[in-house]
Chain A
Amino acid sequence: MSSPVIAARRLSKWYGQVIGLNEVTVAIPPGISGLLGPNGAGKSTLLKLVTGQLKPSQGEVRVLGEPIWGNPAAYRRIGYCPDHDAFYERMTGRDWLTALLGLGGFEARRAVLVAGQALETVGLAAAADRKIGSYSKGMRQRLKLGQAIAHEPELLVLDEPLAGLDPLGRRRVIDVIKQWGRDGRSVVVSSHVLHEVELMTSNILLLNNGRILAEGNVHQIRDLIDEHPHTVRISADDPRRLARHLLGYSHVIAMQLQDGAVIAQTNRPDAFYAELTALAAGDEAGAVRDVTSPDDNLQAVFSYLVKH
């Protein structure tokens, strides 16, 4: 059996009196792994410990066989896409990526070349010389992914990389992640939406209240999750027109319009997202700006799982 890309032993992190992660022992294998949990479950804390941003309060974590806290040389092997939306707004996408590659030790001319390739991969080649401040939310999300993959790390650590993306952007990012896995490299991707993670991998780690709830293949758990209605918020240019189309789907069980968005409930998220993507690709329902899934979906499921 190949050695784990991430090995944590009794790993805990406290923020003062608040427990972020509680005695987590886990070995994440090579390949693509999903980290799933509701808001506040400890996903971001675990990923920040894994990327050496936080120091464990207790226990230890090794990444690609090396200790990570205070070991910047190991960061060369890791690409990290944070969940927060923060950039040097006045720089262009190309300049920003080039500068970050420079920090990674890339020689200037090669950094420019590699930055261009990464921007191409995430579909931002046409916007590469625009200031980041002018990018849409989806473009910013893809740029974050671009800076994580540009230096071709062995391990990609992605914190909610699909949040705020439109359906086509979502598809693109999922394709990039799956390709990364097919190339024999490893990815740990966090999300609070199970079906999103399932599109990338079946190897899932369930986290709740700072503890590992389950790990491995979660098809059985998924069946339980499907019993619960899944809520989706879709921002669109013409929400009424979009709502009329969505009403035609048998798996949409409730819907309402709110602040220029359609809030839909479905009992078959996979089918819903597939059809929504097809709808967004066409023109009949107008432009779809972004799709989000509120955290309480998973929180309800987790409460259900904990009870059973």
Chain B
Amino acid sequence: MADSIASFRGAALRVFDLGIGQMLWSRRTLFMALVAGGPVLIAVLLRVLAALPVFDGGVGRIDGRPVSLDGPDIFGLMIWTFYLRFTVPVLGVFYGTALIADEVEDRTITYLFTRPVARGAVLAGKYLAYLVCTAVVVLPSVMLVYFLVVPLLGGSIGRNFPVLLLDLGLIGTGLAVYGAVFALVGAWFRRPLLTGIVFVFGWEPIVVVLPGYMKYLSVAYYLQGLAPHAMPQGDALSVIQAALTSVQTPLGTGGNLGALAIIGAAALAAAIRVVGRREYVLGQ
């Protein structure tokens, strides 16, 4: 048993070595850089806007009502809106569903599946490559946004640093779980990309606001429960944030983390099993 685990791990790491270079220098990474670069551009724009008279000593106005906000508030809003609800699931869909599908489409899967390695190790290695590749592009983007936005309107970089660390962890967790879920979708479904997009933009936004238990069948629900940012109260910003974050989860940090760990591990294990048993017929 120990031998087979070591052999599986060794094979996965060798596939990782082969896959990481391919993944980092692919057209998909260019797309990922654009997606991750969007919030940075917005952060730069905010820095420019903050210098304009519309912001008056940290008080802005929405429909004539004063809104008190500072850099950390805006950063929290951006983390949730741009990263956790968009960048992370979108990258999960585009990379996760392609882990095996790309190799099948390019017909290079033949070379991997005729080597003396378990097919599941091929998926595991490519999943590791996905994690590293996305983390290398997305996490620096988050840090840039943090340093651009948090000092706005009196925010303190030093005082809020633990929040940045939590956010980085949260985004890493999101990438890992979404990647595993969509690796399973990619291994299982004939049209994985479409299925993934429907899940992220159709299923999740609806179920997290529905009453009942459907919300438990999403990743966003548990991620939302881990968001470290306190909701500002009594102004228009809180209304916007409440609308975006929709509901609070009753599970607590441990419960949400546990749920995400179970979802990620179960999805990855299932994906490994599916790839190990499925026959890939390459078109002539």
Residues of A near any B CB (own CB < 8 A) = 15, 44, 51-55, 70, 72-76, 78, 80, 82, 84, 86-88, 90-91, 99-100, 102-105, 147
Contact = CB atoms under 8 A, between A and B. Distances in A.
Contacts of A73: 116
Contact of B22 (A53, A75, A90): A90
B116 A54 contact: no
Contacts of B279: 53-55
Contacts of B22: 88, 90-91
B113 A53 contact: yes
A105 B116 contact: yes
Given A102-B17, A103-B18, A88 B116 contact: no
Contact of A52 (B21, B114, B276): B114
B222 to A, nearest CB: 35
Contacts of A76: 116
A75 B108 contact: no
Contact of A75 (B15, B25, B116, B277): B116
Nearest to A157: B114
Given A15-B281, A54-B279, A55-B279, A103 B110 contact: no
B108 A88 contact: yes
A72 B18 contact: no
Interface residues of B, number: 28
Given A88-B108, A90-B22, A99-B17, A104 B281 contact: no
30 contacts: A15-B281, A53-B110, A53-B280, A70-B277, A72-B115, A72-B119, A75-B115, A75-B116, A76-B116, A78-B114, A80-B110, A80-B114, A82-B110, A84-B107, A84-B110, A84-B282, A87-B108, A88-B108, A90-B21, A90-B25, A91-B22, A99-B14, A100-B115, A102-B18, A103-B11, A103-B18, A103-B115, A103-B116, A104-B115, A105-B116
Contacts of A75: 114-116
Nearest to A77: B116
A72 B11 CA distance: 12
Interface in B4-34: 11, 14-15, 17-18, 21-22, 25
Interface string B86-111: 00000000000000000000111011
Nearest to A45: B281
B59 interface: no
Contacts of B214: none
Contacts of B11: 103
Contacts of A104: 115-116
B42 interface: no
Nearest to B113: A53
Contacts of B280: 53
B45 interface: no
B117 interface: yes
B35 interface: no
B118 interface: yes
Contacts of B276: 70
Contact of A99 (B18, B282, B284): B18
Contacts of B17: 99, 102
A200 B107 CA distance: 28
B112 interface: yes
B114 A86 contact: no
A235 to B, nearest CB: 22
Given A99-B17, A103-B117, A104-B116, A147 B111 contact: yes
A207 to B, nearest CB: 16
Contacts of B116: 72-76, 103-105
Given A88-B18, A104-B115, 10 more contacts: A53-B110, A53-B280, A73-B116, A75-B115, A78-B114, A86-B106, A90-B22, A100-B115, A102-B14, A103-B116
A87 B112 CA distance: 11
Interface in B227-284: 276-277, 279-282, 284
Contact of B118 (A54, A72, A78, A147): A72
Contacts of B112: 103
Most A C-beta atoms less than 10 A away, residue of B11, B18, B114, B115: B114
Contacts of A88: 18, 22, 108
Contacts of B117: 72, 103
When A and B form their complex, which 4 residue pairs have the shortest distance between CB atoms, in order from nearest?
A86-B107, A76-B116, A103-B115, A75-B116
B12 to A, nearest CB: 11
Contact of A86 (B25, B110, B119, B284): B110
